[in-house]
């Protein structure tokens, strides 16, 4: 059993260090840059459309009718696809928090099958472990601190596993082992699932296509506006604001630990489980000092 979950945990740390954090930390600046780019392309498209009319190349609607319809249709499909996939991943991550809270609570209750002394030792380890799991996600976006805290939770897993096996081996009945070991395995496995779900996102090219379609659509809209006698500045502002706000929401849902969209409600479930365990004993340091490089 131990040979199953320990390599997976190490793999999760390795993958985390390889994940690019560009969109994770630059969501708001990217959206501001997108709004500025859309405005300039609207102006550029308007000037190109005005030159088209001055040169007598025909009506703008006749020229663009075959081009803009499929482009706007593809743009709408891309927005719908990215928004839906981001929302599904958001819901999946939130469900995993609830699942981990249930797994930890179930394993904690099954500690009562063990001898009293062993039960108390493991209960204290569970308190420290749950505290560590909560802190792991509170430290985002500090990657080094997250990895350090994640490693600490893995070390606590090893200690919980070792103490549990020793206690189960003392039992004269198979019931403690049959009930506790599967519960611990589920409690450990969900940590790798959560870490993987936090790291896996759509390829960068998908977001690149979304931003490119925003700019192309702005150019086409500006081109068509050249045929209007009076340009509606309010409508242009609403067009830019609507598109950029949609892109921001998509990126914010995709990275719900650093933006306005948060998982605080789901995190509260895990904190409630920790509260039900009672206060930790003062003879163990539940928060070891981080390395100097991380503190700085």
pLDDT in tens, 157-202: 999 999 999 999 888 888 888 999 999 999 999 998 998 888 788 8
Three-class secondary structure of residue 263 per DSSP: coil
Is residue 230 packed enough to be buried (19+ CB in 10 Å), middle (13-18) or exposed (0-12)? exposed
The tokens for 274 are: 């920790």
Mean pLDDT of 77-106: 93
Mean pLDDT of 286-296: 37
Cβ-based neighbours of 63, under 8 Å, separated by 6 or more: 52, 57
- pLDDT-based confidence at residue 280 (cuts at 50, 70, 90): low
Contact 288, 145 (CB under 8 A): no
- Torsion angle in degrees (nearest 10) through CA of 208, 38, 217, 59: -150
- Higher-confidence position of 203 and 229: 203
Alpha carbons 67 and 194: distance in angstroms, whole number: 44
Percent of the chain with pLDDT over 90: 47
Answer whether residue 296 shows pLDDT above 50: no
Q: Could you tell me the end-to-end alpha-carbon distance of the chain, in angstroms, rounded to an integer?
A: 38
- Give the Cα separation of 152 and 133 in Å (integer): 9
Confidence of residue 61 (pLDDT cuts 50, 70, 90): low
Query: 4 pLDDT band (50/70/90 cuts)?
Result: very low
* Residue-range domain boundaries for the chain: 2-10+23-279
């Amino acid at each position: 059993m131990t040979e199953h979950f320990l390599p997976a945990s190490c793999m999760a740390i390795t993958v985390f260090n390889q994940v690019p954090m560009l969109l994770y930390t630059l969501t708001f600046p990217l959206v501001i840059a997108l709004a500025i780019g859309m405005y300039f392309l609207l102006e550029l498209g308007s000037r190109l459309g005005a030159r088209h009319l001055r040169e007598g190349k025909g009506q703008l609607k006749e020229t663009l009718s075959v081009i803009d319809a499929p482009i706007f249709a593809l743009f709408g499909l891309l927005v719908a696809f990215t928004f839906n996939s981001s929302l599904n991943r958001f819901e999946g991550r939130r469900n995993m928090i609830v699942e981990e809270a249930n797994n930890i609570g179930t394993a904690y209750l099954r500690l009562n099958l063990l001898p009293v002394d062993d039960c108390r030792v493991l209960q204290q380890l569970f308190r420290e472990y749950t505290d560590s799991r909560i802190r792991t996600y509170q430290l985002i976006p500090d990657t080094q601190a997250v990895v350090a805290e994640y490693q600490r939770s893995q070390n606590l897993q090893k200690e919980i596993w070792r103490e549990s096996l020793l206690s189960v081996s003392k039992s004269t009945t198979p019931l403690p082992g049959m009930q506790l070991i599967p519960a611990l395995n589920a409690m450990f496995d969900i940590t790798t699932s959560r870490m993987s779900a936090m790291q896996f996102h759509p390829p960068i090219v998908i977001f690149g296509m979304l931003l490119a379609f925003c700019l192309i659509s702005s150019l086409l809209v500006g081109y068509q506006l050249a045929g209007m006698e009076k340009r509606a500045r309010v409508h242009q502002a609403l067009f830019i604001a609507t598109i950029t706000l949609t892109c921001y929401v998509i990126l914010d849902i995709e990275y719900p630990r650093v933006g306005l969209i948060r998982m605080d409600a789901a995190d509260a479930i895990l904190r409630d489980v920790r509260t039900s365990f009672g206060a930790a004993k003062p003879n163990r340091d539940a928060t070891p000092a981080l390395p100097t490089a991380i503190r700085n």
